[in-house]
Amino acid sequence: METKEKTALIKSILEDKKGIDVTALDLTDISSVTDAFVIASGSSTPHVKALSDYVEEGMSEKGFDPLRVEGYDSAKWILLDYGDVLVHIFSEEAREFYSLEWLWADAPKDEN
């Protein structure tokens, strides 16, 4: 599965589960670490964890398991590493504080 397809699938899973302000950034020309970020917020700690669980389940059904998961226990900022796509699921407060969209403002938004 290509990066754009993987990104679109992750966005769809997050949107289906009521992720807040789901955004994808295309980093192919900006980063040597990854090709895309998918960023979303949850409304509460259980919601943030549930969004992470849904992404893992949905991606696993397609044959993709994360290389690494960070931050699940605190659920302020959960990172799911799918190699070419990094998924950031934040509490609303943490998303505002870390402001990844601002830090990566040069990255075009993927509108898929």
E strands, 7-49, in order: 20-26, 36-42
Q: Distance (Å, rounded) from C-alpha 95 to C-alpha 31?
A: 21
11/28: higher pLDDT:
11
Q: HSE of 4 in the Cβ direction (CA atoms, 13 Å)?
A: 5
Model pTM score: 0.92
- Provide the pLDDT for residue 74: 92
pLDDT in tens, 37-96: 999 999 999 999 999 999 999 999 999 999 999 999 999 999 999 999 999 999 999 999
Question: What pLDDT is stored for residue 31 in this prediction?
Answer: 84
In the predicted structure, residue 1 carries a pLDDT above the cut 80? no
